[in-house]
Amino acid sequence: MYKDTDCGAPRSSDIGREITVAGWVHRRRDHGNLIFIDLRDRTGLLQVVFNPELAPDAHQLAEGMRSEWVIQARGTIRARLPGAANPNLATGEVELVVSDSQVLNRSLTPPFEVEDDTDADESTRMANRFIDIRRPEMLSRLQLRHRVTHLIWDHLTENGFTQVETPILIKSTPEGARDYVVPSRVRPGTFYALPQSPQQMKQMLMVSGVERYFQIARCFRDEDLRADRQPEHTQLDLEMSFVHQEDVMALVEGLYTRIVRETRPEARLETPFAKLSYDEAVERYGSDKPDTRYGLEMSTITDIAAQSDARVFQAVASSGGTIRAFAAPGCADYTRRQTDQLIDVAKAAGAQGLVYIAIDKSAPSIDELDADHIRSPLKNYMSVEIVKEIAHAVEASPGDLVLIVAGTKTVANNALSALRTEMAERLELIDDNEFKFAWVFDFPLFDWDDETGTWTPAHHVFSSPKQEHIPLIESDPGSVYADLFDLTCNGVELGSGSIRIHDPDVQMKVFNVIGYPDHEIEERFGHLLKAFRYGAPPHGGMGLGLDRITAMLAGQSNIREVIAFPKTQSAWDPLFDAPSLIAEEQLGELHIELDLEE
């Protein structure tokens, strides 16, 4: 071994001990004849002292050492001189006096300093990820990710789960996004797909009698990227037989409670997790992944606002739209510039605009409002009585600013949800040290696609309708709700699950509603339907993103910060320069000819 002690290990109790350490030169300082090097490895820093009187050869070698050189040092631990201790380092009370040293490798000048507060931009960091990961905070995030994975293994093993690997090369059965496809050389003209999830395979494992399965699975989706998406991601995939929705939720809630308490013991965590139906979440928060750390709850005021003389409200109400609002406490004195900023937020989220009502704090109460207490661009089109009704509906008080959006239900919810987040940040209502989990359940089974004029699965085609809604699948798809449930935390969706269809006849009905012809059903899903005909047990499970929960635990909003080698938002890997062209010879072996525009 090149070392017998980690750099971050020595303490005062080790004074007088001879050790050997190895790592990277983090910083070098010359003080008279002495050379001080902060030596770094994954555990921390250790001050290493080269004294020409004690080790002249080692001192001469140290004169040429530069940042990020890899060295080995052997010597004796001693206490630092009085006044020289560094309370910011775990090893700050001691130092290593070198008796022998050697250079294990040299380094070019790195493109940025290996410091947590680096000023390097993300593209530079990603192109030099092998250097970026040396930074303590990056190493810490990867170690956190490992710890989360370890806790998952421990918890699920203790609960009777079996880890099973499923294939990476599978049949293409798109599940909402495009598949990444892999051409087969040995079967020309055919293609494998990389799995978007192990969904069908884990259901087959339930038919196979495994009963409790899990896997830390790699998943691939060829879709447009966002800050929380990658073309490949890692998820905790689990499935359970003979369970109801509540059983899966209880298992996962116990796991995530354990993960947070063991990795972020100082954080605020409320248990049991809140539970909201999909309809309730959307009505109160305008989103199916609500941030419940703060209030600012919404209300529908369509019937009230439509009674005003405001044409915009009347037009939206008469066309079947919705008018929704919430109160921002203490913001009635917002300036024109501030309200214009809020209008921009609403427009960026898809709204045509934003209506506000400022209720002056001088008003004795809402019931005692008069026209002088009201400021709004639509003041001349709303009576004081209507303003009172709106204020009561959103539980506003004197001094509050009521924010109103009119439009389709989707537009109103999206815009108000964005405004809700904006106001929570402005009012400093968000506690970054709180993990507020919430279950959202009872989703609709189908969504209507206006562009195609067809029904689409709200999550995926394998989710089970509620038993009492099975007779409605073909006659009234829009009324069918499912045993679907999402786990959310602080406004982020962490995972999605459902009780699955295990009856082949019910599965066929769902396929038919979506519009799959019989030959396509057999071609894409015949293997699963065949398995169902051989005694499939009731079963359900979840897929939960490992990247997302790790990012939250690490206090990061971008999952790229907790992935060792991520892709950019254009699905490009700047370190390995992937994707890239391949040789004509390889294309020929695969019987592929490219047809690219010049």
- Each residue of 381-409: pLDDT tens digit? 999 999 999 999 999 999 999 999 999 99
Residue 101 token pair: 């040293």
Q: pLDDT category, 226, cuts 50, 70, 90?
A: low
Question: CA-to-CA distance for 186 and 55, rounded, in angstroms?
Answer: 64
| C-beta of residue 115 within 8 angstroms of C-beta of residue 87 | no
Task: Please identify which residue in the block is written with the tokens 């507060």.
Answer: 117
Residue ranges in 47-135 assigned as alpha helix (H): 56-62, 122-127, 129-132
**Size (the chain), residues:** 598
Question: CA-to-CA distance for 352 and 412, rounded, in angstroms?
Answer: 10
More confident residue, 449 or 381: 381
Average pLDDT in the chain:
96
- pLDDT score at 223: 82
Note the CATH number of domain 12-105.
Answer: 2.40.50.140
Kindly state the average pLDDT of the residues 220-229: 76
3-class DSSP state of 18: strand
Kindly state the average pLDDT of the residues 333-347: 97
- pLDDT score at 598: 62
Residue 230 DSSP symbol: -
Q: Which fold has domain 294-430?
A: Gyrase A; domain 2 (3.30.1360)
Distances (CA, A) of 455 to 298, 451, 474, 500, 508: 29, 11, 11, 19, 15
Residue 475 token pair: 């006659």
Q: pLDDT category, 459, cuts 50, 70, 90?
A: confident
Question: CA-to-CA distance for 146 and 550, rounded, in angstroms?
Answer: 9
Q: pLDDT category, 174, cuts 50, 70, 90?
A: low
Q: pLDDT category, 451, cuts 50, 70, 90?
A: confident
Residue 412 token pair: 């109103």
In the chain, domain spans: 12-105, 294-430, 443-482+503-536
Question: CA-to-CA distance for 14 and 47, rounded, in angstroms?
Answer: 14
Q: pLDDT category, 224, cuts 50, 70, 90?
A: confident
pTM of the model: 0.93
Question: CA-to-CA distance for 16 and 77, rounded, in angstroms?
Answer: 5
Q: How confident is the model over 289-309, as pLDDT tens digits?
A: 999 999 999 999 999 999 999
Distances (CA, A) of 368 to 121, 329, 378: 55, 18, 20
Kindly state the average pLDDT of the residues 563-567: 96
Which of 169, 190, 166, 167 minimizes the C-alpha distance to 180?
169
Name the E strands within 51-127.
70-79, 94-105
Kindly state the average pLDDT of the residues 131-158: 98
3-class DSSP state of 4: coil
Question: CA-to-CA distance for 415 and 343, rounded, in angstroms?
Answer: 10
Task: Please identify which residue in the block is written with the tokens 């799959």.
Answer: 516
Q: Is the pLDDT of residue 116 over 70?
A: yes
Crossing angle of the two packed helices 136-158 and 546-553, in degrees rounded to 10: 120
Containing 51, the helix (H) or strand (E) segment is none
Q: How confident is the model over 502-555, as pLDDT tens digits?
A: 999 999 999 999 999 989 899 889 999 999 999 999 999 999 999 999 999 999
- pLDDT score at 531: 96
Question: CA-to-CA distance for 380 and 276, rounded, in angstroms?
Answer: 39
- pLDDT score at 229: 77
Residue 468 DSSP symbol: G
Q: Is the pLDDT of residue 59 over 90?
A: yes
- pLDDT score at 595: 86
Planar angle of CA 483, 485, 486, nearest 5 degrees: 165
Kindly state the average pLDDT of the residues 126-152: 98
Task: Please identify which residue in the block is written with the tokens 């960091």.
Answer: 125
| C-beta of residue 140 within 8 angstroms of C-beta of residue 222 | no
Q: Is the pLDDT of residue 365 over 80?
A: yes
Sign of the CA dihedral running 226, 228, 234, 240:
negative
| C-beta of residue 74 within 8 angstroms of C-beta of residue 19 | yes
Kindly state the average pLDDT of the residues 196-215: 97
- pLDDT score at 220: 95
Distances (CA, A) of 171 to 513, 516, 529, 546: 23, 17, 15, 25
Question: CA-to-CA distance for 261 and 165, rounded, in angstroms?
Answer: 28
Residue type, 350: G
Q: How large a percentage of the chain has pLDDT more than 90?
A: 92
Question: CA-to-CA distance for 251 and 244, rounded, in angstroms?
Answer: 11
Q: Is the pLDDT of residue 132 over 80?
A: yes
142-146, 323-327, 338-342, 514-518: the lowest-pLDDT one: 514-518
Q: CB neighbours of 416 closer than 8 A, spacing ≥ 6?
A: 286, 298, 324, 325, 326, 346, 403, 405
Q: Is the pLDDT of residue 247 over 70?
A: yes
Q: CB neighbours of 358 closer than 8 A, spacing ≥ 6?
A: 331, 332, 333, 334, 374, 375, 376, 401, 402
4-8, 148-152, 224-228, 583-587: the lowest-pLDDT one: 224-228
Cis peptide before 457 (omega within 30 of 0): no
